[in-house]
Amino acid sequence: MVTSFATANAQLVEGKRGSEDFKIGVAGYTYRNYDIDQTLAFLKSMEVKYLSVKDFWLPLNSTKEQMDAFKAKCAEYGVNPYILGPIYMKSEAEVDRAFAYAERYGSDVFIGVPNYELTDYIIKKVKETGIKVAIHTHGPDGAPFPNIQKVAEVYKDPSLGIGCCMDLGHSVRMGEDIVKDIKKYKEWIYDIHIKDESEASKKGGTWEMGRGVIDFVPVLKVLRQIKYQGVVSLEFEKNWRNPHPGVAESIGYMRGVADATK
């Protein structure tokens, strides 16, 4: 971030930008066509400082040494690999593996996609390990948890340490009102995946922010209102072979809305 000198000129940035009220990140799935080095170079070129880490870069059986090397590489690019996942969990063995992975990484939370029948086991593991689970909500596509309502319905008590990585795009594809949901379920929101959508229906796909159907002005305003302290990570699923221009456009858009809603 370029720092301005003190001046009386009306149009020079003074003090904190509105966008600095948000931790803006990228969800790893966005750059699934790239290795971690190229991905980090992309993030650095946009001054994006948070990355949600997918296991195609850091496999679930990674050793602590491999994890340390991975973190050191991220640090070279000024990027905080702040969370692991989403990790799918279809059996108790897979739950165990996911928690062990997060524990080796030194995390107190990871993004998970557990099957419903593992609910009691997940609650037990969170109690045992102190590691929380942010359940990724996947809209109308058939993954266990379509929206934040379902997480709240199944887990009931937000103090258990099971919450959401709320996917705003997928929620809109479900026909949800995400502005109301963010306010209503704020204590369940541990992490956020953000993206625009081509349609507010199952047929919708990721779109560049500012050019789809979602008005992000009230979305960012409600995140300010609830004083959301987590990361807002762009999960750009469009153009997987060459997503970067659309990512850059979306990150720019998010910063523009954030600066102007200060």
Residues near a copy of itself (CB under 8 A) = 1-2, 4-5, 7-14, 17, 19, 45-47, 172, 175-180, 198-200, 207-220, 244-246, 248-262
Closest distance between a copy of itself and the C-beta of residue 57, in Å?
21
Considering the complex, state which of residue 46 and residue 100 has its C-beta at the smaller distance from a copy of itself.
46
CA distance 200 to 205: 9
By three-state DSSP, how is residue 29 classified? helix
CA 64-66-67 angle, 5° bins: 60
- Give the shortest CB-224-to-a copy of itself separation in angstroms: 12
Alpha helices in 16-175 (DSSP H): 36-46, 64-76, 92-105, 119-129, 148-155, 168-173
Q: Which is nearer to a copy of itself, 176 or 191 (CB)?
A: 176
Nearer to a copy of itself, 5 or 116 (CB): 5
Please, what is the minimum distance in Å from the beta carbon of residue 114 to a copy of itself? 28
My answer on whether omega of the bond before 144 falls inside 30° of 0, hence cis, is no
Least distance in Å: CB of 129 to a copy of itself? Answer: 35
Buried b (16+ CB within 10 A) or exposed e, 142-172: ebbbbbbbbbbeebeebeebbbbbbbbbbbb
Q: How far is the CB of 219 from a copy of itself (least distance, A)?
A: 5
Rank residues 116 and 241 by Cβ distance to a copy of itself and give the closer one: 241
Tell me how far apart the alpha carbons of residues 76 and 74 are, in angstroms, rounded to a whole number. Answer: 5
CB nearer to a copy of itself: pick between 144 and 212 = 212
Other C-beta atoms within 10 Å of 68: how many?
14
